[in-house]
Structure 1
Amino acid sequence: MEFKKCYLDLIMVPLSFMISIGYHLWLWHKVQTQPLSTVIGANAHGRRLWVHTIMKDNEKKHILAIQTIRNTIMGSTLMATTSIVLCCGLAAVISSSYSVKKPLNNTIYGAHGQLMVALKYVTLLVLFLFSFMFHSLSIRFIGQVNFLINCPEDSAIVTSTYVSELLEKSFMLSMIGNRIFYSALPIMLWIFGPVPVLLCSSTMMPVLYNLDLLFGDTHSWKTMA
């Protein structure tokens, strides 16, 4: 009887995860093969040029570098703080008696047992914890860039290429943290049943596709590469 109630969860929730994972695997392949056709690759190329320009004319632009990096740290700190606050709230809900599920039992599809409710909240908790971890690592790398970007470019070790790699690691970790944070939205809707999970994931992928891809002349991208 319990299986009859949760068969929609067993089908729609994994399918939602597969849609999201499949899209991001495709996006990763696109970034590796045609980076300048994506927003991620184009922004990374621009940041490398920015680091080289800042370190080349450090005496005049060091204040600009510090202010820009400070704004980036503030953004990652905000996301990390939001994630850990949500983790605390979810931990409080998980430790409760799950009374929140009682008014919803007769209005939504899917299983509503204590085990399933606990699974929903624990999944959300894990996603927010991973988002917090990636944003914390991003802050660590961007903090290193904040010191090294003011070093002379003629240094044998601390070159603009090395600083650019640290900056890219920071932005990549921040992006992963953001995508994990976004993926918590369908799982949050899982509280209301498995159908909203699949609908939300199916809606998010076209939106992300239009935000991640640059639509224009592919010949110019190949020339720039």
Structure 2
Amino acid sequence: MEWRKGYLDLVLVPLGLLLPLVYHLWLWYRVRSKPLHTIIGINSVGRRLWVEAMMKDNDKKNILAVQTIRNTIMGSTLMATTSILLSSGLAAVLSSTYSVKRPLYDSVFGAHGEFMVALKYVSLLVVFVFAFLCHSLSIRFVNQANFLINVPLSDSLVTVAYVADLLEKGFALNTVGNRLFYAALPLLLWIFGPLPVVFSSLTMVLILYNLDVVYEERGKSKDDEKGCV
């Protein structure tokens, strides 16, 4: 009977987790092949131009550069703190004997034995731990860029490209950490059964697609498109 109850989990949960994975693989390919057709690619180009402008006119824009990067560090710090707090809470739940670990048996579809309940919470814990790791590494790279962006170009071997690469690594890790945080939502809903996993994953993919992809203007000529690239 327990195995039959687990049929829905065996089919729907991998499907729900596969949808965001396939989407992000496609998004990675899209960023690599057509970066100016994605928000991530456009922001990356804009940040590199921003670093170049800050370092070339450092005497007038040094305070602006430090304040802007400081805000980025504060955002990553908030996400890292939230991730590690949630991880600590889940670890406390796993090590306790409270009934909160047991789902509502009458309203949950799929398997809900002790092993499945533990698997759900452990999956959430792993996702939050990796999100914390990504945000922590992001703070490291962005903090390095915060120091080096005020180094005079004429008196140092530090180049604009090097500082821009540090900043891009930091933002890339921040993006990965955020996406892992989003991936925790379907796993959280898995506590209530496998059906919410599929619906939430599909909804999340549709929302992220509209936020990540830049739609081309209608009537735009091919020559203009080549010129932008």
CA–CA separation in structure 2 for the residues paired with 1:47 and 1:204: 27
Structure 1: 5+ residue runs without aligned partners?
none
* Residue 115 (structure 1) shift: 0.5
* Residue 152 (structure 1) shift: 1.4
CA–CA separation in structure 1 for the residues paired with 2:225 and 2:176: 25
Aligned to 1:176: 176
Aligned to 1:111: 111
Question: Could you say what secondary structure the match of 1:187 adopts?
Answer: helix
CA–CA separation in structure 1 for the residues paired with 2:33 and 2:103: 50
Aligned to 2:45: 45
Residue type of the alignment partner of 1:197:
V
Question: Could you say what secondary structure the match of 1:214 adopts?
Answer: coil
Closer, same or farther: CA 125–222 of 1 in aligned 2, 3 Å: farther
Structure 2: 5+ residue runs without aligned partners?
none
Q: Superposed, which structure 2 residues align to 1:185-204 within 5 Å? A: 185-204=185-204
* Residue 215 (structure 1) shift: 1.1
Q: Which range moves more in the overlay, 69-78 or 152-161? A: 152-161
* Residue 224 (structure 1) shift: 2.1
Residue type of the alignment partner of 2:117:
V
Closer, same or farther: CA 155–32 of 1 in aligned 2, 3 Å: farther
Aligned to 1:131: 131
CA–CA separation in structure 1 for the residues paired with 2:202 and 2:103: 27
Closer, same or farther: CA 92–147 of 1 in aligned 2, 3 Å: same
Residue type of the alignment partner of 2:153:
E
1:222 aligns with 2:226: yes
Residue type of the alignment partner of 2:87:
C
Q: Superposed, which structure 2 residues align to 1:18-33 within 5 Å? A: 18-33=18-33
Aligned to 2:15: 15
Taking only aligned residues, the RMSD between alpha carbons, in angstroms, comes to 1.3
CA–CA separation in structure 2 for the residues paired with 1:194 and 1:103: 13
* Residue 216 (structure 1) shift: 2.5
Task: Give aligned pairs, total.
Answer: 225
Aligned to 2:165: 165
- After superposition, the C-alpha distances for 1:17-66 in whole angstroms (9 at most, x for unaligned) are 11110000000000000000000000000000000000000000000000
Identity %: 60
- TM-score of the two chains, using structure 2 as the length reference: 0.95
CA–CA separation in structure 2 for the residues paired with 1:221 and 1:114: 56
- TM-score of the two chains, using structure 1 as the length reference: 0.96
CA–CA separation in structure 2 for the residues paired with 1:99 and 1:157: 60
Spell out structure 1 runs of 4+ moving beyond 3 A.
Answer: 217-222
CA–CA separation in structure 1 for the residues paired with 2:164 and 2:103: 53
